[in-house]
Structure 1
Amino acid sequence: MKTQGTLSIFLFLSLDGFYKGENEDISWHSHGAEESKFSEENLNSGNTLLFGKRTFLMMESFWTSKEAFQLFPKIAEQMKNAKKLVLSHSEVETTWNHTETLKPNWIEQIMQLKKEGTSLTILGSGEVVRQCCELQLLDEYLLMIDPIAIGSGQSLFGGLKSPKLFPLKSTRTFTNGSVLLKYGN
């Protein structure tokens, strides 16, 4: 009998709670050797990656570049080989391997994938995270808090219709001062 799949998120936040700064800026995120190793381990999980269209296009732009393969060769290769699903109102034109656009009934598709045993991870995509949080579709939250305040930007949970309580499952501290908080149901 197949095990139920899960829907998790992984994204980084500034100390003052923003997942991106003004003008989509994420240059403040610290990603050293230890964080790269963590990313490699997580990509080895075999989870299907789930993106909103804007995040997908930004990720595709970087992870298919020569720079990505030079700086983070293992992660770039893993990203290339991972199954990727994109939430978009229109078809996404891409040459990135293993990419599929979900239909407008994406909620039912995600629930069906989970029922079939597929585990999915949302990378970035704050608006998708908020929608899934409101719909109570998320099973696990992995939030990497960078030790930097950026002053303004987009709050991950800004605009929630009601408060949400997240039970803490574990923490991990990185040598650069970043902290990974793992919450789950």
Structure 2
Amino acid sequence: MGTISAFESVTLDGVMQGPGRPDEDTRGGFRHGGWGVGHADEVTGRFAGSGMARTRALLFGHRTYDDLLRHWTSVAGPNPFTEALLNQRKYVATRDGGARLAYPNSIPLAGEATETVARLKTEIDGVITVIGSGELVRALHRAGLVDEYVLLIHPIVLGSGTRLFGDGDGDGDGGGDGGGGRADLVLEESVTSTTGVVVARYQVK
């Protein structure tokens, strides 16, 4: 039986939208893209690397898959992140039954995400890591399918943008749906980076 681990960069006020670059996700008029730049260090790199080492497969929403793979395959020069993304088995939740995926080792999960991912968990032994993919994570959270959250909590407050768990009735500035019901979490491990990022791994009770 597989376990779903959601790996997310968030601000102190829970915003997950566009951490990597200004044009990453401007939906809803979001103007703070790239807020995570400059906060990575050896501490966060080691934590991320250990997480990837125990990952059996990656899981994405269709939009995040296209954006992330397009970006990292266009970066000049070799880097380990691109190689890991391309070589790892990737599942892509999509509502498009005819979806064609542009990158190797990619498998579409066409249909209702909560149903296709629930089936996937029965087919894979080990950790299935979701990167970003906020809409997908919120849907899986509501369905009780997320087993673990790995959060890189940045010392930043933005005040607007799509939040990881939504705003109850909706995500406000960032679009999307609400985050769903309560989940009780158990802190399994945490570390603080040299740039003030708190990296915490929580198990869902």
> Shared topology, TM-score over 0.5?
yes
- Map of 1:149 onto structure 2: 157
More helix, by proportion: 1
Structure 1 counterpart of 2:10, from 5, 9, 13 = 13
Structure 1 counterpart of 2:108, from 101, 122, 127 = 101
Give 1:32 shift.
Answer: 3.2
CA contact (8 A) 1:64 1:96 kept: no
Give 1:118 shift.
Answer: 4.5
Once the two structures are overlaid, the 10-residue window that deviates more, 101-110 or 48-57, is: 101-110
Which ranges of structure 2 fall in alignment gaps of 5 or more residues? Answer: 19-24, 167-177
- Map of 2:119 onto structure 1: 112
Indicate the SS of the match to 2:49. Answer: helix
Indicate the SS of the match to 1:18. Answer: coil
Structure 2 counterpart of 1:129, from 122, 137, 152 = 137
- Map of 1:176 onto structure 2: 195
Once the two structures are overlaid, the 10-residue window that deviates more, 107-116 or 156-165, is: 107-116
Which ranges of structure 1 fall in alignment gaps of 5 or more residues? Answer: none
C-alpha distance in structure 1 between counterparts of 2:202 and 2:50, whole Å: 18
- Map of 1:79 onto structure 2: 85
CA contact (8 A) 1:63 1:80 kept: no
Please state if 1:65 is matched with 2:74: yes
Please state if 1:47 is matched with 2:56: yes
RMSD: 2.0
Give 1:146 shift.
Answer: 0.9
- Map of 2:34 onto structure 1: 27
TM-score (norm 2): 0.78
CA contact (8 A) 2:190 2:199 kept: yes
The residue identity in structure 2 corresponding to 1:160 is: G
C-alpha distance in structure 2 between counterparts of 1:84 and 1:59, whole Å: 12
Give 1:124 shift.
Answer: 0.4
Indicate the SS of the match to 1:101. Answer: strand
C-alpha distance in structure 2 between counterparts of 1:98 and 1:89, whole Å: 19
- Map of 2:170 onto structure 1: none
Q: How many residues align?
A: 179
Determine which structure has greater relative contact order: mean sequence separation of CA pairs < 8 Å that are 6+ residues apart, divided by chain length. 1
Give 1:131 shift.
Answer: 0.7
C-alpha distance in structure 2 between counterparts of 1:137 and 1:78, whole Å: 25
Percentage of identical aligned residues: 31
TM-score (norm 1): 0.86
